[in-house]
Structure 1
Amino acid sequence: MNYRICALCCALIAWTLVAPAQAQDAGRKVIIDDEGFELMHLTLLESSKIDVIGITSVSGNTWANRATAMALRGLEISGHEAVPVAEGATYPLLNSEALTDRWEALYGKLTWKGAWMKEWVEPTVQSTPDYFGPDDPVNLPQGNPTLQPTGEIAANFMIRLVRAHPGEITIVACGPLTNLALAQRLDPGFASLVGELIYMGGSLNPQQVLDNVSAEQFAREFENSPRREFNVRFDPEAASIVSRSPWPKLTVVPIDPSTGTQRTPELLQRMSKAAKPGVAEFIAQLEPGFPLWDEIVAGYLLDPGIATETEDLYVDYNTQFGPGYGDMLSWHEHYQPGLGERKAHVVRTVDAKRLEALMVEAMREGAR
Structure 2
Amino acid sequence: MRILRALFRPVALAATLIGGTAVCAPPSHAAEARKVIVDDDGSGIAEWMLLQAPNVDVLGITILSGDVWRDEGVAHALRAVEIAHRTDVPVLRGAVYPLLNSEKLTDRWEALYGKLVWKGAWMKKWVEPTVQSTPPYHAPDVVPHLPEGDPTIKASDEPAVMFMIRKVHEFPGQVTIIATGPMTDLALAQRLDPSFASLAKELVYMGGSLNPQQVRPDVAAAQFAREFANSPRREFNFRFDPEAASIVLRAPWRHIVAVPADPSTATELTPEFLHKLAAANPAFAGTISKREPGFPLWDEIAAAVWLDPSLIKHSEELYVDVNSQFGAGYGDTLSWTPGYQPDLDEQRETVVRTIDAPKLEAFITSLLARPLPSSPPK
User: TM-score, normalising length from structure 1?
Assistant: 0.91
SS in 2 for 1:222: helix
Distance of 1:215 and 1:252 partners within structure 2: 21
Note the C-alpha offset of 1:138.
Answer: 4.0
Aligned match of 1:16: none
Aligned twin of 1:79 = 85
State the match for 2:107 in structure 1: 101
Tell me how far 1:149 sits from its aligned partner.
1.0
Which range is displaced more, 98-107 or 46-55?
Answer: 46-55
Q: Give, in angstroms, the shift of residue 264 of structure 1.
A: 1.4
Alignment of 1:157 onto 2:163: yes
Deviating more after overlay: 173-182 vs 132-141: 132-141
**In structure 2, the residue corresponding to 1:132 is in which secondary structure?**
coil
- Residue 289 of structure 1 corresponds to 294
Measured after TM superposition, the shift of residue 31 of structure 1 is 0.6
Alignment pair present for 1:211 and 2:223: no
Greater RCO, CA 8 A, separation 6+: 2
Decide which of 358, 362, 366 is 2:367's aligned counterpart.
362
Counterpart selection for 1:251 from 246, 252, 257: 257
Q: Secondary structure at the match of 2:327?
A: coil
**Whole-angstrom distance in 2 between the partners of 1:365 and 1:349:** 27
Q: Which residue of 2 aligns with 1:239?
A: 245
Listed one character per residue, the Cα deviations across residues 22-52 of structure 1 (whole Å, up to 9, x for unaligned) are 872x631111100111111111111113221
Task: Give the distance between the partners of 2:351 and 2:343, measured in 1 at CA.
Answer: 19
Instruction: Write the distance in 2 (CA, Å) between the matches of 1:23 and 1:183.
Output: 33
Which secondary structure state, in structure 1, belongs to the residue aligned with residue 145 of structure 2?
A: coil
Letter in 2 for 1:80: R
Choose from 273, 298, 305 the match for 2:303: 298
Decide which of 259, 266, 274 is 2:272's aligned counterpart: 266
**Deviation, structure 1 residue 216:** 3.5
Name the structure 1 match of 2:54: 48
The one-letter amino acid paired with 2:99 is L
Q: CA deviation at 1:253?
A: 0.4
Name the counterpart of 2:150: 144
Which has the larger displacement, 280-289 or 198-207?
A: 280-289
CA distance 1:21–1:273, shift in 2 (3 Å): closer
1:93–1:178 contact (8 Å) kept in structure 2: yes
Indicate the residue corresponding to 2:357 in structure 1.
Answer: 352
Q: Distance in 2 between matches of 1:289 and 1:269?
A: 13
Which residue identity lines up with residue 130 of structure 1 in the other structure? P
Q: Could you list the per-position Cα deviations for residues 112-140 of structure 1 after superposition, in whole angstroms to 9, with x for gaps in the alignment?
A: 00000000000100011100111224432
Compute the displacement of 1:148 (Å). 0.9
Q: Which has the larger radius of gyration?
A: 1
Deviation at 1:21, TM superposition (A): 8.4
Which consecutive unaligned segments of at least 5 residues does structure 1 have?
1-19
1:321 is the counterpart of 2:361:
no
* CA-based RMSD: 1.6
Q: Is the CA contact 1:31–1:169 (under 8 Å) kept in the aligned structure 2?
A: yes
Work out the CA distance in 1 between the residues paired with 2:244 and 2:30. 34
**Change in CA separation of 1:355 and 1:153 when aligned onto 2, cut-off 3 Å:** same
Aligned residues between the structures: 347
Residue 228 of structure 2 is matched in structure 1 by: 222
For residue 206 of structure 1, report the CA deviation from its aligned partner: 0.8
Cα distance in 1, alignment partners of residues 86 and 152 from structure 2: 13
**Aligned to 1:127, which of 128, 133, 141?**
133
The 3 A distance-change label for structure 1 pair 148 and 367 is closer
Q: Deviations over 1:86-126 (max 9, x none)?
A: 10000000000000000000000000000000000001000
- The equivalent of 1:9 in structure 2 is none
* Cα drift, residue 145 of structure 1: 1.2
Residues 71 and 140 of structure 2 are in contact (CA less than 8 Å); yes or no, is this contact kept in structure 1? yes
Letter in structure 1 aligned against 2:66: G
Q: Does 1:190 align with 2:196?
A: yes
Query: Counterpart amino acid of 1:212?
Result: D
- The amino acid that maps onto 2:272 is E
- Comparing 53-62 with 259-268, greater Cα deviation is found at 259-268
**Residue 111 in structure 1 maps to residue 123 in structure 2:** no
| 1:309 aligns to 2:314 (yes or no) | yes
Quote the Cα distance in structure 2 between the aligned partners of 1:81 and 1:137: 20
**Amino acid in structure 2 at the alignment position of 1:193:** L
Q: Secondary structure at the match of 2:370?
A: helix
Corresponding residue for residue 30 of structure 1: 36
In structure 2, what is the Cα distance between the partners aligned to 1:60 and 1:263?
Answer: 20
Q: Compare the two structures and name the one with the higher helix fraction.
A: 1
Q: Distance in 2 between matches of 1:287 and 1:138?
A: 17
Partner of 1:11: none
Three-state SS of the structure 2 residue aligned to 1:365 is coil
SS at match of 1:33: strand
Q: Could you tell me how far apart the structure 2 residues matched to 1:154 and 1:138 are?
A: 22
**SS in structure 1 opposite 2:132?**
coil
Query: 2:97 aligns to what SS in structure 1?
Result: coil
Q: Contact 1:207 / 1:223 at 8 angstroms: preserved in 2? A: no
Identify the range of structure 1 (317-326 vs 27-36) with the bigger mean alpha-carbon deviation: 27-36
- Please give the alpha-carbon distance, in whole angstroms, between the structure 2 residues aligned to 1:53 and 1:23: 20
